[in-house]
Amino acid sequence: MNIIIETRDTFTVYGIRHCGPYSEIYKAFDELWRWAQAEGLESRVLCALAVYYDNPTTRTPSLCRSDACLQFDAPLADELMSELIQPIDVLGGCYAKYRHVGPYEALESVYSHFYQTWLPQSDYQRTELPSFETYLNNPRTTAVEALITEVYFPVAPK
């Protein structure tokens, strides 16, 4: 597992809260992209990302919280916000970054390997910040085996 340790600044994204199994976050992304298209914001999107707040192995999947988000080239006007679409701050800090190439369905095994193998053998420990994933290409126009996801695991030195 090729991990790069990065210190990241806090940044703002815009998203929709999803409560339920993480495998169903695509529903929130579909709604988010419809909103971006309707508002003429598609060309300003830098990347899509998801923020994951809960551990689905210890919390009932139907109660897991995540945010489907888009990062834009500049802050959005307050008038574009609604009860559904909200600004979300992704907190800065130390992260272990892993670049995954392949299907999204394989990401569960990436998390398992990271937490069960890499982290215990490293000089780092988990923090309470949520993990997040950035999606660097479009799943509608990219072959499944070529999808690129960067997974950011929050860590701190032991």
2-31 per-position pLDDT tens digit: 999 999 999 999 999 999 999 999 999 999
Residue 151's DSSP bridge partners are: 98, 133
Distances (CA, A) of 10 to 77, 89, 90, 91, 141: 19, 7, 6, 4, 30
The domain tally of the chain equals: 1
131-147 per-position pLDDT tens digit: 999 999 999 899 999 99
One pLDDT digit (tens) per residue for the chain, 158 residues: 899 999 999 999 999 999 999 999 999 999 999 999 999 999 999 999 999 999 998 999 999 999 999 999 999 999 999 999 999 999 999 999 999 999 999 999 999 999 999 999 999 999 999 999 999 999 989 999 999 999 999 999 99
Q: What is the CA radius of gyration of the chain?
A: 16
Backbone angles phi, psi at 104, to 5 degrees: -60, -30
> What domain range is 83 assigned to?
3-157
The enclosing domain of 145 has a CATH number of 3.20.80.10
